[in-house]
Chains A and B, each alone.
Chain A
């Protein structure tokens, strides 16, 4: 995973191993921006297979998640058939054929030809309970029934990864179907190696300072604590500004990369900022 730009640890590696072995879906929970979605992307890259993504939202229904008929095409076909002597049943047979079926993420994941796809069901906590129940059915049998076509079975069972931001408690039934993986904010060392891996040109001193800064900021009481995504964003913007070390001016100019909430921007007062900066600088000058 390292070669593909992902700094893993043993918990993540074990979960992926079990996913390969048991085909048991992984339910990943963690704060925003700690790399939950990345796991699926990198996995698809490593396996050289397709990544199929289903973004969940409230009201997500079967026709957006599973399949939909191509109505325009069906209507045209019916017009063409107008003059013919087919009976209603025969017409029905034609227009509800596979060529009029639009595959949505879940259906295309289980009918992926050649090999298993990686199916990412993102932010499953945003979908409602009804959808969760439907998802359970698909995840346990990997088959779906379409009234007009019959049952479609999975050709290759996909590798399923679900992510959740814990805005809603997921049902026990769904949890039971999955193995569980909690991704926490990274430690100093892990965050530093992520930074160095993703931004290879970065000045080592700046990287250490940025990491130390972020680690300290996360201990403060904030509404939205910055994740690794913010660290990378921030580092990239500092690189763009050609900064080689952190000073007050550059930090204040780029605060918008770290704090995404007006209350947090106000809450992190100048004093606190200076305090954190002083601590960060002390580390650098110490050893």
Chain B
């Protein structure tokens, strides 16, 4: 046990040592503030429900001496649910509870450097802190909410891009082909088993159950075989200017993939990267495209493949990539940046997925060679390099390679 800590929570191991606290606990005020804090966390995307607030309130009186550190750690344990939230929680905790007179010590003592302002000058940080305190103290919490809403300026929503409308007939044709592809694309025996005649292992449990009908003689053996499982698809689509002529077709392809296969995640990138899975969930493709053009500000711009891949690895990779994922990159590989970055980030992706596929529309031109620096750097990490046409029209062989 941490030697600096025995009076407060050391009691965890001597259940008899609990005392009811403490005149210092301000009745009435704390519960309300706790619920407000909880609401604030929820607004910022934390999974904080009233249940956790109740748990925190229930447990605080059982700590012998409530100090700020103990209070902070109890709240952190209960309200934070992933590593990415830790910093955000520290900042919110600090600004919310500072200035509240419930404890003798101030929350400043908790952080040697207030987490949000690390690196800024002393006088500045002092100022900033004052502002923060005025805004975020529990009593004035409501004003703060309003400002935070106003911060989402409409600047981000750029003029929507117009796609030519897509007729249902065209889509039907595409879906036909994808269905054919999808049957072989990306399935692989899973670790789970089901009853089946071709299996190798004997399912003793079922064999025995079955035998009861024959008075306990095992007449037939029930066997188990591996259940086929679909792999998850993650698509990264290049939407820079050089890809413009293919965009329409590729978006149709992605929409059909989303429609036909459940587990698919899509991202578009150019100078930046955005997750667009939600856009493709709409019921018809034209709505999907409209949503898409509203959400993606960097359409038909430049290309920073390496930078976009890095963003993907930092923000999304740990959530969407698994050993049962096929990652498909749709890009012409024409980049304006250093190629080493692309190679480095692809190496990271490659480690996490089952297959890494690069579909390059240029590779259909007769004497195409992957000469662009980024494309050449990427090749060693790619399991399959081909064009979409070949994948869709080709015989089963091409698709089976993915499996």
Contact = CB atoms under 8 A, between A and B. Distances in A.
A78 B83 CA distance: 54
Interface in B184-201: 190-193
B322 A167 contact: yes
Given A59-B190, A167-B322, A182-B86, A2 B78 contact: no
Nearest to A130: B192
Interface of A: 1-2, 7-11, 13-18, 20-22, 24, 26-27, 29, 46, 57-59, 61, 63, 68-69, 71, 74-75, 78-79, 81-82, 88, 91-92, 128, 130, 166-169, 172, 175-176, 178-182
Given A58-B191, A71-B208, A81 B216 contact: yes
A88 B212 contact: yes
A74 B47 CA distance: 48
Interface string B169-194: 00000000000000000000011110
B5 A13 contact: yes
Contacts of B82: 29, 175, 180
Interface in B1-28: 1-5, 9-13, 15
Contacts of B322: 167-168
A278 to B, nearest CB: 28
Nearest to B192: A59
B149 interface: no
Interface stretch (B69-77, B154-162, B240-248, B390-398): B69-77
A176 B47 contact: yes
Given A10-B5, A21-B62, A81-B216, A71 B81 contact: no
B363 to A, nearest CB: 30
Contacts of B70: 10, 14
A179 B79 CA distance: 7
Nearest to A18: B77
Given A9-B2, A182-B86, A166 B9 contact: no
15 contacts: A1-B1, A10-B73, A13-B9, A14-B77, A17-B63, A22-B58, A59-B190, A61-B193, A71-B204, A75-B208, A75-B216, A88-B213, A91-B216, A92-B212, A169-B318
Contacts of B73: 10-11, 13-15
A11 B4 CA distance: 13
Contact of B319 (A1, A2, A22, A169): A169
B115 to A, nearest CB: 15
Among B47, B55, B204, chain A packs the most CB atoms within 10 A around the CB of B204
A180 B205 contact: no
User: B-side binding surface: helix, strand, loop or mixed?
Assistant: helix
Contact of A13 (B1, B80, B216, B320): B1
Nearest to A1: B1
B9 A14 contact: yes
Given A2-B1, A63-B205, A82-B216, 18 more contacts: A10-B2, A10-B73, A13-B12, A14-B9, A14-B73, A17-B63, A18-B55, A18-B77, A20-B12, A21-B62, A29-B82, A58-B190, A75-B218, A88-B215, A172-B47, A175-B82, A182-B80, A182-B86
A16 B12 contact: yes
Interface of B: 1-5, 9-13, 15, 47, 49, 55, 58-59, 62-63, 69-70, 73-74, 76-78, 80-83, 86, 190-193, 204-205, 208, 211-213, 215-216, 218, 318-320, 322-323
The 7 A-B residue pairs with the shortest CB-CB distance in the complex, in nearest-first order:
A59-B191, A78-B216, A14-B73, A17-B12, A175-B81, A179-B77, A71-B204
A11 B76 contact: yes
B77 A181 contact: yes
A179 B56 CA distance: 11
Nearest to A89: B212
Nearest to A82: B216
A128 B9 contact: no
Contacts of B86: 182
B81 to A, nearest CB: 4
Contacts of A26: 77
Contacts of B49: 176
B13 A179 contact: no
A71 B216 CA distance: 12
A35 to B, nearest CB: 14
Contacts of B193: 61
Contacts of A21: 12, 59, 62
Contact of B59 (A13, A22, A175): A22
